[in-house]
């Protein structure tokens, strides 16, 4: 079933509750399979079943975490009055599950180019835009290195000389990021931001990231759009192509020019891109 059409037909809350129920059913099946292999592992010469059982236990835990996120979103969505400005964001419950107020997820292609992103609030949106424009930050490090990143205080500026000072100016004192990993690849990263010096607990962040990976990619009812909360930088890609043709430069150089203008003017790259698409010739 198409996730977007499903959401429009049934309503956000109803869809979230159905997905939560499906996640719990998958968790029950994984746990049942784990129990069978645990029994087999107790037999002489069949110890390898213990590893299979542990794999299914981890899968079940991931499905449970996914169900909790869906349940939390269902509560918010059920209270939504339908006004566009108050539409609930799935990333808000992701941030809460991580123990912070601001979170962003970035979805990447195999060459680490950002395909889409979703945020919980304006602070995480500003931080995500900065990372996209400057080409450095916790999300990119976590995805490219495929390992967790945790930085706070003065370490933020020391690690990212360009990104760090701007991040601190947003009132952020600590940041943590983890990769969104599949069996063979990494599809992006989850980053949390906090005005407090303490960062989210690594175990909790890893659990939420694993659940989020299933929600956006691996589950039968996967929803990369996150209930309409995912932004695709389509306008930026369109403007980059236009600028490349008009200036006779490479696409990479055109994108770099858009990002540079966005940083200089302290606006989002989408704002600069919209001006180009609508006929602004300042960059041409």
Average confidence (pLDDT) per 10 residues, the chain, 284 residues? 51 93 97 96 90 95 96 92 83 94 90 88 94 93 94 94 94 95 90 85 91 91 91 85 86 86 85 85 60
Give the pLDDT score at 273. Answer: 87
Rounded CA separation 249/29 (Å)? 54
Helix (H/G/I), strand (E/B), else coil: 185: coil
> Phi-psi region for residue 279, left (φ > 0), alpha (ψ -120 to 50) or beta?
left
Percent of the chain with pLDDT over 70: 95
Write phi, then psi, for 116 (nearest 5 degrees). -160, 165
Q: What are phi and psi of 175, to 5 degrees?
A: -145, 145
pLDDT at residue number 279: 82
pLDDT at 60: 96
For residue 237, how far is the Cα from the chain centroid?
Answer: 20
Contact 38, 186 (CB under 8 A): no
Where would I find the H helices in the chain? 3-10, 12-41, 49-78, 90-97, 122-134, 138-145, 155-159, 163-169, 202-213, 234-247, 251-265, 269-277
pLDDT of residue 178: 96
Residue 119's H or E segment, with its range, is strand 114-119
* pTM for this prediction: 0.85
Cβ contact 165:157 at 8 Å: yes
Task: Determine the Cα–Cα distance for residues 128 and 130; give it in Å rounded to an integer.
Answer: 5
CB-neighbour burial class of residue 274 (10 A; exposed 0-12, middle 13-18, buried 19+): middle
180 forms beta bridges with 188
The torsion angles phi and psi of 77, rounded to 5 degrees, stand at -65, -35
Q: 283, 243 in Cβ contact below 8 A?
A: yes
């Amino acid at each position: 079933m198409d996730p977007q059409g499903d959401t429009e037909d049934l309503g956000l809350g109803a869809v979230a509750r159905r997905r939560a129920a499906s996640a719990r059913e998958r968790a029950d099946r994984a746990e049942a399979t784990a129990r069978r292999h645990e029994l087999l592992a107790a037999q002489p010469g069949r110890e390898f079943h213990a590893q299979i059982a542990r794999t299914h236990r981890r899968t079940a835990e991931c499905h449970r975490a996914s169900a909790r996120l869906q349940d939390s979103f269902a509560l918010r969505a059920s209270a939504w009055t339908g006004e566009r400005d108050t539409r609930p964001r799935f990333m808000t419950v992701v941030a809460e599950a991580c123990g912070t107020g601001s979170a962003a997820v970035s979805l990447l292609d195999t060459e680490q180019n950002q395909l889409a992103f979703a945020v919980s609030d304006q602070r995480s949106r500003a931080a995500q835009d900065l990372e996209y424009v400057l080409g450095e930050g916790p999300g990119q490090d976590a995805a490219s290195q495929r390992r967790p990143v945790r930085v706070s205080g003065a370490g933020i500026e020391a690690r990212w000389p360009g990104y760090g000072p701007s991040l601190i100016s947003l009132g952020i004192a600590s940041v943590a990021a983890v990769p969104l990993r599949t069996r063979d690849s990494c599809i992006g990263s989850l980053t949390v931001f906090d005005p407090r010096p303490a960062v989210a607990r690594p175990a909790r962040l890893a659990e939420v990231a694993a659940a989020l990976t299933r929600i956006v990619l691996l589950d039968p009812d996967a929803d990369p759009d996150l209930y309409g909360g995912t932004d695709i930088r389509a306008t930026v890609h369109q403007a980059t192509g236009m600028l490349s043709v008009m200036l006779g430069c490479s696409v990479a150089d055109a994108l770099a020019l858009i990002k540079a203008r966005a940083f200089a003017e302290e606006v989002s790259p989408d704002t600069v891109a919209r001006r180009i698409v609508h006929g602004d010739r300042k960059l041409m």
